[in-house]
Structure 1
């Protein structure tokens, strides 16, 4: 079998994808910074390699294009949002504390990734792959939230103000859209919003 240069490069690139080493992580960090500061259109491979202090050859050893590296950045952000809803250990038995912990973690993830999140939401309307990923994340987040509220309703002395699915969707929207508006706010304003959102969540779910 004859393997062309481009095929060989693609195979090598695919192998590096499965090995999430420090160089690839550095390229992703640089790309995320560039996308956040410059937006999608103004970010180029040259801009990313300058930020990462690597050659274009190094970039293309890991990613085939700006589009591909954006997909990887978006996947990382989406995974961070999903991970923010996961709590292990003894704290997971205190459902009120889990609610506070996961709300805080999710909102802080929005603060940290707000500009990239805005790009993801915009690109989701233009790029089918990003659109599918973002829809999947939103669906999983809302379903997890709904199941968690149902668990609280079944095991705690609470009186929810609406069906769990409606509360879950309302709070998920508030966490995403509300926190995104405060990306450039002061740390004090962000902490205030986080505290307010935790209090609102408890009231909607029915904690006394």
Structure 2
């Protein structure tokens, strides 16, 4: 394959990835605005400023694009726990930064997280992806706490159970904060950080 052919192939691949992202973004907006049942493939294609045949070039059905969104949202929530740029931060700073990032991520998604939560209670396929992401985040958080040097924290419970409780409070509290004004969301973030620090027993910083 010549260099020109390789560049053309790469360009088509990039264009395809951009179109897929455009469809996912449009689907997220539609599901957030109208709920799952009311959304159609035609609505998603229209919101993405493309055609029904183009939609089917990337996804076989409304169900498939919804499942892709479930996986994407789960990955985005997991990314909020990234410690990139926090290598020199204290434990207190890390807990605050990751908590804020998680709440902000849910707020940016509108009602989509609540829709996925509800869908996971009735659709085993959604539940499998959604619960796996939650379990991954819980395990990562608990492992982080266990690996802290002695004396940095004094957790009130075993780390795994403690993280489950904290994670549940942050997740569902953040959903309730969706649609509230910035001041109310900021107050929730500050309150949940304070509660997290108390439960974990943070001593540093």
TM-score band, normalised by the shorter chain?
0.7 to 0.9
Counterpart pick for 1:26 among 17, 22, 25: 22
Counterpart pick for 2:173 among 152, 170, 178: 178
- Correspondences of 1:85-96 after superposition (within 5 Å): 85-89=81-85, 91=87, 94-96=90-92
Pairing 1:111–2:107 present? yes
Q: Which residue of structure 1 aligns with residue 160 of structure 2? A: 165
- Segments of structure 1 that go 5 or more residues without pairing to the other structure are 1-15
What is the CA–CA distance in structure 2 between the aligned matches of 1:178 and 1:163, rounded to whole Å?
22
What is the CA–CA distance in structure 2 between the aligned matches of 1:150 and 1:164, rounded to whole Å?
7
Identify if the C-alpha distance between structure 1 residues 163 and 32 changes in structure 2 by more than 3 Å, giving closer, same or farther. Answer: same
Q: Does the CA-based 8 Å contact 1:146-1:168 persist in structure 2?
A: yes
Identify if the C-alpha distance between structure 1 residues 190 and 20 changes in structure 2 by more than 3 Å, giving closer, same or farther. Answer: farther
What is the CA–CA distance in structure 2 between the aligned matches of 1:31 and 1:17, rounded to whole Å?
21
Q: Does the CA-based 8 Å contact 1:17-1:62 persist in structure 2?
A: no
The RMSD of aligned alpha carbons is 2.0
Pairing 1:64–2:60 present? yes
Instruction: Give the TM-score of the pair, scaled to structure 2.
Output: 0.86
What is the CA–CA distance in structure 2 between the aligned matches of 1:183 and 1:118, rounded to whole Å?
10
What is the CA–CA distance in structure 2 between the aligned matches of 1:63 and 1:84, rounded to whole Å?
27
**Mean Cα displacement is larger for which, 107-116 or 171-180?**
107-116
Alignment length (residue pairs): 192
